[in-house]
Structure 1
Amino acid sequence: MSIIITGGAGFIGSNFVRLWLSKGLNETIVNLDKLTYAGSLENLKDLPNSDQYVFVKGDIGDEKLFNQLLNEYKPRAILNFAAESHVDRSIDGPAEFIKTNINGTFNLLECARKYYSTLDNNLKKTFRFLHVSTDEVYGSLELNDPAFTENHPYQPNSPYSASKASSDHLVRAYQHTFGLPTLTTNCSNNYGPFQNTEKLIPLVIHNALKEIALPIYGDGKNIRDWLYVTDHCEAIMTVLETGRVGETYNVGGNTEKTNLDVVTTICETLDQVKPRTTGKPYKDLITFVKDRPGHDKRYAINANKISSELGFSPKENFSSGIKKTIEFYLKDL
């Protein structure tokens, strides 16, 4: 038995690979990753049960390669983590987001559809295509609006979120039209080990330790729900094994915080575990910069469905999760 994961050298994908292998499951995990700026083999050093891990460098848009992997490893599941995911990059250059998030997902679905048609009835019953997506497809909330449910209309506001919304629709269409057994997860902002340093939390940690400016867009009052990455990976495993075919599950951390609150918490934690040589607090380094174009005001996840149906809830709160995250980057530097 095997599963194929795409984008498994990236932030969330590499954490999923590590979690999967730590479970001691008797299955091979095949990781297809293009190794762009966001993916690194450094994220996958010293893996547990590495004899059950196979890495393949390649693009999810490569039809021939992906068909070869399906024929060779005959997976019981495909998990699509591969995506261009940085909003700023999508503003500067949307084309790669269209290519990877839309065209790449389409290629995976087409290959999966054809592969699924060759399976016998018993294997068809257990096969799954799980698509990992984002809460940004739902758009932006006002301060007092109810949190996003799975039935919230799609209102993407950036090229990134629009490309992910399109990929979500393709996944739904392949389930509805072709009967491909799909699952979709829409998660809130992840944080934790192995995240690219251009993202807010690792950027702030690295800049603080270098005692350089900690940039915050606008007034810092934009709100996000924060989810520790290992909790997210546990949720994905839960959805894969027990989720209802064709369904979407929101995954959140039950932790809404402004960007300013997040940065301040990091500063206060670093003050305790690694004080500045000057004796000054890290928050003195906070610098407000020009806001991002079309910056969404607030994201919030209603995760009642995955909790009530599948019994999943996150183990980490923001206080415990941010301490683990800071410890990782301190050790990594």
Structure 2
Amino acid sequence: MKESVIVSNDIGSATVLEFGLDSLASDNFDFQFGEANLPPLPPPTAWDTRLLLPEGGFSGVKSSLKDYRNAPSFPFTGSKEHRIQYQVGSGTTVTIKWNLPPQITGLLQDIVTGTLINVPMSDSGNYTVAQPNIFNKLKMTIDYQSIIPVELVSFVAIVNGSKVNLTWQTATELNNTGFDIQRKSENTDWQKIGFVNGSGTTTERRSYNFIDDNSSHGKLYYRLRQIDFDGSSSYSKIIQVNVNSPNGYVLNQNFPNPFNPSTKINFEIPVRTSVLLKVYDLLGNEITTLVNEDRPVGSYEVEFNASSLSNGVYFYRLKAGSYIETRKMLLLK
């Protein structure tokens, strides 16, 4: 698994330092994880930051932008110590910024007494070192709780009308049963809204997606609960989206059109109301009822399958409250 901190000065210089766990990692250089020995520090007027590797007692002889440590087995619970070294360059302060998942916390301390700087790390946060020329090294102790080695490299939510499309990628997976998709709003607690199967054990990148087509409007939060074969689980970081309410009644043109044999019809309603969506043939005969129920505010998509019908022009009619709209569609087989 991989985490990172961003170390920056007050004039815009910034570097990402990466750390994590793997069953194949060691306290020395792990070239398979991108660790590589850095050259000696540049002149003090230049910006620099790095992780000091533990071999040699964090002496600085060996340093890297990445520092992976060994976890003998998973789920893993324990602590790992990392050392951050920096020189401020032309700046005057140094800031360390983090964004950790719920099962990882940390402690950022000076290496003199551990009390002059003593900052807890959890969730999203940052700490600014006001005297970086005096405190040019920090000890970062990372505490892991029941870590499962599924390396999540991205987790993104995109709003499409009233739907939310969730996509995520993993770099590696070990004994991964799959992912519970969880959602909460400002008025509700976390609830499971779906499940996506994992890839078991793999070192290849895997991509996943899930569409939440029953989302409410307003501010929504999503997270993944990754489940191991033995039932152990861990949570991803939380992502947030805003789903806007429709401004009025809309009945869109079906797509595709012409179609064969199925097409999708989208509509929007700005208030909760009774909705009736029907399909008619060219003579006005009713073919089918697609929707006949009360629906809350939102954007909706309905599929119409015409595999049993013959070629020709058909009409679909939406009645929502006092709103009535009819559109034409063409079936070509």
Q: Which of structures 1 and 2 has the bigger CA Rg?
A: 2
Q: TM-score, normalised by structure 1?
A: 0.26
**Greater RCO, CA 8 A, separation 6+:** 1
Structure ranking higher in strand proportion = 2
Q: TM-score, normalised by structure 2?
A: 0.26
Structure ranking higher in helix proportion = 1
